[in-house]
């Protein structure tokens, strides 16, 4: 305990130097501003802003980069709530209820609870990293391909529960997502699959391309379709901050989301993606009246947003203690660290303790900054909704296109997004939900990879998924989740199933 407090003290001494506080603030602010542009997620933001950090010492640079990361992450949630465009996989869930709240004139409340929930989750996750970072690393190592595959199966089970309407339709949509995830170069043989000979599809479909099309572009088509409803939304702008009642509804989801997201964030191979989905599923199951979900339930924003931020934070554990980046953003952080002459690995903690603990302390500071930056900004964001839609939609389209182009600097990606925009519009017209599709898409890639790795390692023996206790346990939970989701609808008969 002594060393723990001593370490934190060292960390805060480093993080609270005038220069580092300023860098942290600058990172969070720039990250938020760039991240709020639809289509510009944390990866693109960090890549664009990386050169800004070249003139600073390594610790300061990393503090700033981490700030940009949280800022972009949070900015992504803002776009999800305001204009129904998830910047990345983890904010897909936020669109479900967050955007509905915005449509009801409660955008400020949704943004406020997202900021407060994120701050709480960030604080807890920072403490967890500081206290338990090193031992928790072992958790990441238990997870081999077989365990990871089973975790993804559990994730797909969540996707079924996510669906607002028919389970059959949700299932169909998930399969389309899985199918889309198989487009691209085969992992093992290097052959092209389902690419139609198009070079743009050789590396598969980028998540942002799919999400921006299905949500962003499709949403615009939808709104242009019936301008009346859009104007109604603009007329009402309610309170800017959540009140007592909202806090009472939210604090438990925030707590649960923090725990779920924190645990999943440590896992290798982007476990953090599952956090918000898992939290949403849990809240919907625990709610007295699950039918409110998808229609602006505050728990559906509070829980997933907390899970998102907790996971974003604990994802640093494998990076800082093992030097292994668990996802694409962290891989970029590794690159940023190497540019500054620090090669992340097990020695960072002992060799450069001021950097290690300074960064951890700055995580908390960054979360505080986000709260300070974002609470006053909520008023500005909400007022954005008042901008006439005829001015708003070309701007959204433009920023989306810039954002998509900036991911890989490929013009083909923009065209592909337009295609998915029309697909998303058709989905809407036929009453299919795009959210489960995105989850299927994200999980599909990982599932295929892990399934094949596990089977290659077991020489084709499927028993590998049950001989490992962790894997067997996860599969069992997945089975239970599906049974719980399907059983009541089976009992109540098809009629009601279509409504739940």
Partner 1 sequence: MKRTFAAFALAAATVVAASSASAQNYPTRPITMVVPFAAGGPTDVIARIVGEHMSKTLGQQIVIENVAGAGGTTGTTRAAHAAPDGYTIMMGHMGTHGAAPALYPKLRYDPAKDFAPIGMAAGTPILIVARKDYPAKNLQEFVARLKTEQDKANEAHAGVGSVSFTTCTMFNVMNGIKPTRVPYTGTGPVINDMIGGKVDYACDQIVNLVTQIQGGNIKAYAIATPERSPALPDVPTTKEAGLPNYQVSAWNAVFAPKGTPQAIVDKLNDALVKALDDAGTKKRLLDLGGVLPTGEERTSAWLGQYVQQEVARWTPILKAGGITAE
Per CB under 8 A, does 322 bind partner 1? yes
User: In this chain, which of 58, 165, 290, 346 binds partner 1, going by CB under 8 A?
Assistant: 346
Per CB under 8 A, does 57 bind partner 1? no
User: In this chain, which of 5, 168, 202, 483 binds partner 1, going by CB under 8 A?
Assistant: 202
- Shortest Cβ 307–partner 1 spacing (Å): 23
Q: How far apart are CA 131 and CA 4, in angstroms?
A: 7
- Shortest Cβ 187–partner 1 spacing (Å): 5
Per CB under 8 A, does 335 bind partner 1? yes
- Looking at 124-132, 175-183, 186-194, 394-402, which segment touches partner 1 (CB under 8 A)? 186-194
* Residues 402 to 431 in contact with partner 1, rule: CB under 8 A: 408-412
Per CB under 8 A, does 480 bind partner 1? no
User: In this chain, which of 35, 213, 257, 268 binds partner 1, going by CB under 8 A?
Assistant: 268
The smaller minimum CB distance to partner 1, of residues 193 and 252, is found at 193
Per CB under 8 A, does 460 bind partner 1? no
Site string for partner 1, 25-54 (x = CB under 8 A): ------------------x--xx--xx--x
- Shortest Cβ 327–partner 1 spacing (Å): 9
Per CB under 8 A, does 325 bind partner 1? yes
- Looking at 28-36, 272-280, 318-326, 387-395, which segment touches partner 1 (CB under 8 A)? 318-326
Per CB under 8 A, does 188 bind partner 1? yes
- Shortest Cβ 87–partner 1 spacing (Å): 17
Residues binding partner 1 (CB under 8 A):
43, 46-47, 50-51, 54, 140-145, 185-192, 199, 202-203, 268-269, 318, 322-326, 328, 331-336, 338-339, 341, 343-348, 408-412, 449, 452-453, 456-457, 459
């Amino acid at each position: 305990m002594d060393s723990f407090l001593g370490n934190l003290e060292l960390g805060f001494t480093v993080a609270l130097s005038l220069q580092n506080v300023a860098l942290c603030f600058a990172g969070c602010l720039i990250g938020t501003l760039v991240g709020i542009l639809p289509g510009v997620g944390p990866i693109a933001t960090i890549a664009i802003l990386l050169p800004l950090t070249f003139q600073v010492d390594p610790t300061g640079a990393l503090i700033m980069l981490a700030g940009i990361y949280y800022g972009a992450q949070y900015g992504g949630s803002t776009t999800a709530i305001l204009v129904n465009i998830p910047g990345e996989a983890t904010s897909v869930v936020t669109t479900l209820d967050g955007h509905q709240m915005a449509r009801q004139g409660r955008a400020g409340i949704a943004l406020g609870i997202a900021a407060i929930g994120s701050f709480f989750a960030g604080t807890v996750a920072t403490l967890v990293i500081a206290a338990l970072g090193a031992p928790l690393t072992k958790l990441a190592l238990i997870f081999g391909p077989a365990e990871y595959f089973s975790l993804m199966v559990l994730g797909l089970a969540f996707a079924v529960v996510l669906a607002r309407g028919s389970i059959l339709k949700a299932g169909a949509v998930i399969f389309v997502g899985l199918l889309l995830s198989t487009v691209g170069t085969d992992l093992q043989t290097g052959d092209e699959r389902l690419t139609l000979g198009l070079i743009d599809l050789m590396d598969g479909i980028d998540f942002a391309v799919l999400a921006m099309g299905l949500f962003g572009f499709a949403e615009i088509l939808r709104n242009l379709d019936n301008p009346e409803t859009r104007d109604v939304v603009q007329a009402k702008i309610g309170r800017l901050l959540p009140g007592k009642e909202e806090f009472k509804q939210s604090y438990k989801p925030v707590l649960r989301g923090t725990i779920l997201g924190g645990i999943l964030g440590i896992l290798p191979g982007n476990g953090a993606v599952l956090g918000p989905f898992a939290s949403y599923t849990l809240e919907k199951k625990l709610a007295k009246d699950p039918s409110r979900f998808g229609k602006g339930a505050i728990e559906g924003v509070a829980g997933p947003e907390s899970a998102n931020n907790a996971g974003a934070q604990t994802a640093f554990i494998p990076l800082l203690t093992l030097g292994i980046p668990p996802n694409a953003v962290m891989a970029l952080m590794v690159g940023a660290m190497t540019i500054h002459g620090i090669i992340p690995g097990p020695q960072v903690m002992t060799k450069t303790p001021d950097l290690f603990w300074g960064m951890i302390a700055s995580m908390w500071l960054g979360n505080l900054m986000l709260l300070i930056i974002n609470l006053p900004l909520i008023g500005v964001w909400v007022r954005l909704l008042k901008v006439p839609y005829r001015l708003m939609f070309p701007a959204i389209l433009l920023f989306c296109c810039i954002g998509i182009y900036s991911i890989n600097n490929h013009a083909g990606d923009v065209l592909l997004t337009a295609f998915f925009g029309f697909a998303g519009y058709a989905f809407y017209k036929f009453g299919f939900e795009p959210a489960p599709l995105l989850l299927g898409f994200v999980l599909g890639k990982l599932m295929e990879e892990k399934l094949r790795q596990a089977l290659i390692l077991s020489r084709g023996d499927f028993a590998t998924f049950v001989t490992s206790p962790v894997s067997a346990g996860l599969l069992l939970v997945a089975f239970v989740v599906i049974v719980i989701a399907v059983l009541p609808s089976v009992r109540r008969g098809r009629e009601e199933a279509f409504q739940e």
